[in-house]
Amino acid sequence: MRGFKIQETQQGDRPRERLRDRGAKALSSAELLAILLRTGRKGVSAVELGQELIRFFGGLEGISRGTVAQLARITGIGETKAIQILAAFEVGLRLQQDSPRRLILNSSQEVWNRLGTEMRQLDQECVKVMVLNVRRELLAIVEITRGILNESLIHPREIFRPAFFHQGYGIIVVHNHPSGDPTPSASDHRMTRELMEAGKLLDIPLLDHVILGNPSIERGRAYFSFHDAGLI
């Protein structure tokens, strides 16, 4: 079965040519996907197939969270195209993580900007430590644990170890709530108090503990900051 190629669209509608002439920001998400797909399927262009992917998975975030097998079930995708799509998403994610020293974290909003998109996609709870220098420049992001979050399994030495390794001044602890609700639990409060005390003893302050969720009209912000709430 012959796919419908990008080259077969009218000259002014070709995504690759439009990207070359006008830049990537001029293209829709479906058009960017079409460049990765290169071909559609019989009677369906690559752009239309990109639109179908977006509808089926509920957006780019849903696509990025899909597996090769899930993407390949869409007629016209197949394993090879699914791998190409997921590889492109991973490249974009790693690009966000490059050159952390250029980023200065002065607010919880900046923590959300740096890790929100990545961590709200996770189906499991994950704890990460952001190591900062005295100018609040980001030195490193280190994943401590992933799975069911149990503060009894997260020893302060594991949380503060990255700060020693990277010679940091202070740390920000970040974890996600897969439910989407960033409201801190009793164990979140307890863990924060323990880490604050450990930070005082080690002379490495806990600058913030940020819980990431998902945006909601009812809840407002998609994250909770212990610092902003006056608890740190």
pLDDT single digits (tens) 132-154: 999 999 999 999 988 765 554 57
Whether the Cβ atoms of residue 64 and residue 89 lie closer than 8 Å to each other: yes
pLDDT bucket at 1, cuts 50 / 70 / 90: very low
What is residue 122's predicted lDDT score, i.e. its pLDDT?
Answer: 83
Tokens representing residue 63 in the block: 């696509």
From-to residues of CATH 3.40.140.10 in the chain: 100-225
| Amino acid at site 90 | E
pLDDT > 90: percent of the chain:
59
- Per the listing, tokens 């302050």 go with 205
Tell me if the domain spanning 100-225 has CATH number 3.70.10.10: no
| Amino acid at site 126 | C
Assess whether pLDDT exceeds 90 at residue 163: yes
83-87 mean pLDDT = 94
Q: pTM for this one?
A: 0.57
pLDDT > 70: percent of the chain:
87
From-to residues of CATH 1.10.150.20 in the chain: 6-96
Cα–Cα dist 45/34, whole Å: 8
Return the CATH superfamily for domain 6-96. Answer: 5' to 3' exonuclease, C-terminal subdomain (1.10.150.20)
41-60 mean pLDDT = 92
* Nearest Cα to Cα of residue 151 among 120, 116, 127, 124: 127
What is residue 124's predicted lDDT score, i.e. its pLDDT?
Answer: 86
